[in-house]
Amino acid sequence: MQSLPMSRTTGVRVVLPFYAAGALFFLLMSVLLFTAAGQLQGHYFQPHLLAALHAGTLGWGTMIIFGASYQLLPVLCETDLFNSPLAIVSFFFLFTGVVLLVGSFWFFATGFWMIGGASLLLIACILFLINVAMTGGWHFRERIAKWFMVAAAAWLLFTALLGCCMAVNLWHPFFSHSHLEWMKIHAHAGVAGWFLQMILGVSSKLLPMFLLSQPGRHKLMGWIWGLLNGGLLLYVLDGFFVGPGVHQLVYAGIVAAAIAFFIAFIYPVYKNRLRRKLDWPMRQSMTSLLFLLLSLPWLLLTYLINGYQYAIGYMLFLLLGWISGLILGMTFKTLPFIVWNYHYKEVHGKEKLPMPRDLYSDRLLKLQYFSYLPSLLLLSIALLLKIDWLVNAALGIWLLAAICYTLNAGKTICHKLKWPAHGNSNERSLV
């Protein structure tokens, strides 16, 4: 029997900085949102709100996705990561870019700092795209998850490029259309092109793996890829050449069809899973998908009824309910394994060792879950009924979820090797 070489796991020191920085930016985003709670009933183009949203989408969501992608690409593509040093360099560009951008939004320092931050982010996105594109082969059916990742990385690059232009436009206006119209394209390219595409593509491989189920119908994934990118491309072209209007809901419909196809793909996987009982990280991740669906009525409201709170509700449901919710769960399906693998790979099998699930606190995870759900429920009520104090309360509870997450991620990252279990223990830690 011919054996094939196993790909090597991406080094822990490549991946871990993304998780550590992501957790800190998540906490920062939650603090900024709590501080800017009073602005959530107003227009979405406000410096403090923009700072919080970029801390969330870039510092938190994108940071964690970069790190997880560098770890998961070898699994999805069944080969080594193209270039680990490039991944480390992308971290420094991403981290510095987010710090500059969030700071310049908060103090609304247009010009050098904002453009500088946006440019560093652009470089990080280019480096990420190179690493994703160059890892593994290109066969569409066999490597469909990679096609999702490459297209997602390309949309991220487009989003960053548009963001750079917008930063310049705030300093020296040169756009022919309104800045806010460009912002809508920028936001949707980021949410649907980058986050949605990346999450659907990776989930199609990971969910059957985590749930111990048969792989889904991969032909459907090809359709989803086409619908998602087609709908989004039409939306962007329409935005460039035609302009805003209710007709744009057609493109939202095409993207919604892609989501519906994905549900059709994932439902049999979920139904036929061998692991009947979901652990807390999986429960958290599956709940987040509900918020992706719940964000669609908010989108409809933004087109049909006047009121900025609907647009803010739509953004927050996507950022907090869906993207954050998913990462809050998936972190504990990946991070403990990365840390555990680093510490115990060589000694596994010698004697009883802690398992990956022992590296984080289940109690903190439950508290995080039970803060996440009510805070979003309260936030919806507060935005719909325009109750200011309830917005504060909801974001206060959200802050509790963020603290639980950061403590738990910190506990996992700072885990000290404990082996042998008896006698003189050989202690070492990553930090």
Partner 1 sequence: MEIAMNDPWYEQKLQVLQALYQVIDPELFVNIVDLGLVYDIEIQAPDQIHIRMTLSTPHCPLGEAIESAVHNALQPGFPGWQSYVNIVWEPKWTPDKISPEGRHLLGID
Question: Can you give the binding site for partner 1, defined by CB under 8 A?
Answer: 1-4, 6-9, 71, 74-75, 78-79, 209, 212-214, 274-277, 337-338, 340-341, 344-350, 355-356
Minimum separation from the CB atom of position 353 to partner 1 (A): 9
CB of 181 or CB of 279, closer to partner 1 = 279
Full DSSP string of 291-330: HHHHHHHHHHHHHHS--HHHHHHHHHIIIIIIIIHHHHHH
CB of 79 or CB of 83, closer to partner 1 = 79
Neighbour count for residue 374 (Cβ, 10 Å): 15
Helix or strand run (H / E) with residue 118: helix 112-134
CB of 5 or CB of 245, closer to partner 1 = 5
Helix or strand run (H / E) with residue 146: helix 144-171
CB of 142 or CB of 388, closer to partner 1 = 142
Distance CA 113, CA 103 (A): 8
DSSP reduced 3-state for 138: coil
CB of 70 or CB of 262, closer to partner 1 = 70
CB of 59 or CB of 67, closer to partner 1 = 67
Minimum separation from the CB atom of position 277 to partner 1 (A): 6
Minimum separation from the CB atom of position 31 to partner 1 (A): 33
How many whole angstroms from its chain centre is CA 262? Answer: 18
Minimum separation from the CB atom of position 275 to partner 1 (A): 6
Angle 169-172-177 (CA atoms, 0-180°, nearest 5)? 45
CB of 57 or CB of 71, closer to partner 1 = 71
**Cα distances (angstroms) measured from residue 318 to each of 93, 188, 288, 386:** 25, 11, 9, 19
CB of 8 or CB of 416, closer to partner 1 = 8
The amino acid that residue 248 corresponds to is Q
CB of 12 or CB of 387, closer to partner 1 = 12
Whose tokens are 């290109």? That residue is 138
End-to-end CA distance of the chain: 43
Distance CA 77, CA 146 (A): 7
Whether residue 371 contacts residue 404, with contact meaning beta carbons closer than 8 Å, is answered with yes
> CA nearest 157: which of 188, 129, 196?
129
CB of 4 or CB of 431, closer to partner 1 = 4
* Residues contacting 302, CB < 8 A, separation 6+: 310, 311, 314
Neighbour count for residue 85 (Cβ, 10 Å): 8
**Cα distances (angstroms) measured from residue 108 to each of 45, 112, 114:** 11, 11, 8
The size of the chain, in residues, is 431
Whether residue 233 contacts residue 178, with contact meaning beta carbons closer than 8 Å, is answered with no
